[in-house]
Amino acid sequence: MNNENNISNMSFEEIIMKLEQITTKLESGSMPLDQAVETYTSGIELKKTAEKQLKNAYLKLQSVQESAIVSKFREQFVILLENFQNSIIQSLESKDSESSIKAKNKEFLSNLIEIYNRSSQ
């Protein structure tokens, strides 16, 4: 248990260095079998911890990237919505036809789809 605690406190770089040392020792063939098995088992635990650290780093990067995409989409959506609202208010004040208002609604939806597609690329 103490060994697991030590491993979980190691940095990724420390784990890689330790794995390289273990590999060198195992490849030398100079260890007794029981010590080689113990060393190999320790290496497996290090490998699992390194994989966990890599996965966590990947998830953090992915989260940051998704946040940036959502933020960009939100900014563009707010601008689009404000423009659409202003356009509809003007149309209502100037008593534009229903077909004119429907055309503006269609344009808004088309623009919304466009910014969504751009932000998800």
pLDDT, tens digit, for every residue of 60-112? 999 988 888 888 888 889 999 999 999 999 988 898 888 888 898 999 999 99
| 27/24 Cα distance (integer angstroms) | 5
What region, left, alpha or beta, does residue 115 occupy, with left being phi > 0 and alpha being psi -120 to 50 degrees? alpha
Question: 4 falls in which pLDDT band (50, 70, 90)?
Answer: low
Average pLDDT over residues 45-55: 95
What region, left, alpha or beta, does residue 31 occupy, with left being phi > 0 and alpha being psi -120 to 50 degrees? beta
| 48/110 Cα distance (integer angstroms) | 48
Residue 43 CA: distances (Å) to CA of 5, 59, 99: 15, 24, 71
pLDDT for residue 2: 54
Average pLDDT over residues 31-55: 95
pLDDT above 50 (res 1): no
pTM (2 d.p.): 0.62
Give CA 29 to chain center in angstroms.
42
**Sign, CA torsion 45/46/47/48:** positive
Question: 33 falls in which pLDDT band (50, 70, 90)?
Answer: very high
Residue 12 CA: distances (Å) to CA of 6, 21, 60, 113: 13, 14, 15, 42
Question: 6 falls in which pLDDT band (50, 70, 90)?
Answer: confident
